[in-house]
Amino acid sequence: MADDVRKTTASEAQAPPPKTSAALPARPESRADRARRLVYRGRFAAFYFVLAVIAGAGIGALVVLVGRGSPAPAPPWSEWQPTGSGERRAAQIADRVSDPYRLPSGNALAPVVYAGPPTSVLNDGTPIQLQALAVETELQSRGEDIDVLPGNSNVMYNLCGRGVACTIDEGEDSVDRRRLIRREALELALYSFKYIDGVDSVLAMLPPRVLLRQAGAEPQVLQAALFLRRSDVADELDTPLNQVLTAPLTPGVGEISDEETRIIDRLTRARVYEYRPLQQQNGSWLMSLEPVPAP
């Protein structure tokens, strides 16, 4: 009987559990469910499409930028530039610019013997500091139209020939030589405006010219200067120097090209002034500049 009990128990343990109920059939998809599923599917498709367009545009822009490379840097205004304080820069400009200007003999044309704030020397040799510049704006204005400019925003260069009182004592005074001197003064001014802070005008004292030589009479001497304001050469300061003064090397007397001649005459012919120091009522000194026809 014990065996019967064990057999019965084993058979009951191996028998599968009785089924309590039949499997429930799946609920058919309603029309609303189908519409909602299609809407979500469309939204996801549109979202992925927009992402693909954005990614494609970004890759395309990257390819274009890589193909173009970095923009070329703007060319420097000049191959050389001065360094240091304003006074040091003026001295460096004076040496650098004036040295290549030569007479046909090879001697210096008009070396710069002074570069700095505007000064003058009285007849007795007394040096004076000029506090202002009084500039007549029109030829034959007879002092009616005068601009008074502060001297502390001006840099002055004294171009001096090798002769007595800074005259040029060799060769003939000619239009070509005077134009070459004005070219030197123009180049000094351009470098000064470009590289010295606070400079609004440049006064370049030109070598005096002997106008008349007669036996037994004192020769007439013209003391003239080239005066330029920053605004006079604004376009040239935005243009590389070698596109303004185009000669690869400093020209000699009579060697200036037609292109440079037009530029030099346009910028300098109407800006040559006869000068003389004047003392004001308060005791300070100014430089009076009266325009003269440039040769």
Looking at residue 67, what is its pLDDT?
Answer: 57
- When pLDDT is cut at 50, 70 and 90, the band that residue 1 belongs to is very low
Look at residues 155, 148, 124, 156 and name the one whose alpha carbon lies nearest to residue 286. 148
Among all chains, which residue has been given the structure tokens 């308060």?
282
Tell me the whole-structure pTM to 2 decimals.
Answer: 0.74
Distance between CA atoms of 115 and 90, rounded to whole angstroms?
6
Helices (H) and strands (E) in the chain, counts: 6, 11
Q: Are 270 and 291 in contact (CB under 8 A)?
A: yes
Q: Residue 167 has which token pair? A: 């005259």
Who contacts 239 (Cβ-Cβ below 8 Å, separation ≥6)?
none
Looking at residue 36, its pLDDT comes to 58
CA distance 200 to 154: 6
197/213 Cα distance (integer angstroms): 44
pLDDT at 160: 97
Residue that is written with structure tokens 């998809």 in the block: 29
Residue 156: which residues within 8 A CB-CB, separation 6 or more?
114, 115, 116, 117, 118, 119, 202, 203, 204, 205
Q: What is the pLDDT of residues 247-292, one digit of tens each?
A: 999 999 999 999 999 999 999 999 999 999 999 999 999 999 999 9
Q: Does the structure show a pLDDT above 90 at 66?
A: no
Maximal C-alpha separation, the chain: 172
Provide the token pair at 253: 């007397």
The confidence score (pLDDT) of residue 60 equals: 58
Q: Which helix (H) or strand (E) holds 262?
A: helix 258-268
Res 125: pLDDT: 86
| Pair 252, 176: CB distance under 8 Å | no
Q: What's the burial of 56, exposed, middle or buried (CB within 10 Å: 0-12/13-18/19+)?
A: exposed
Report the alpha-carbon distance of residue 202 to residue 194 in Å, rounded: 12
The mean pLDDT value for 147-172 works out to 95
Determine the 3-state secondary structure of 255 from DSSP.
Answer: coil
pLDDT: is 12 or 128 the higher one?
Answer: 128
The answer to whether 148 and 133 have CB atoms below 8 angstroms apart is yes
Question: Running DSSP on this structure, what letter comes out for residue 158?
Answer: E
Contacts of 237 (CB under 8 A, 6+ apart): 77, 190, 193, 194, 230
More confident residue, 73 or 85: 85
φ, ψ (nearest 5 deg) of residue 169: -100, 15
Strands (E), 25-144: 112-116, 119-121, 127-136
Q: What pLDDT score was predicted for residue 250?
A: 98
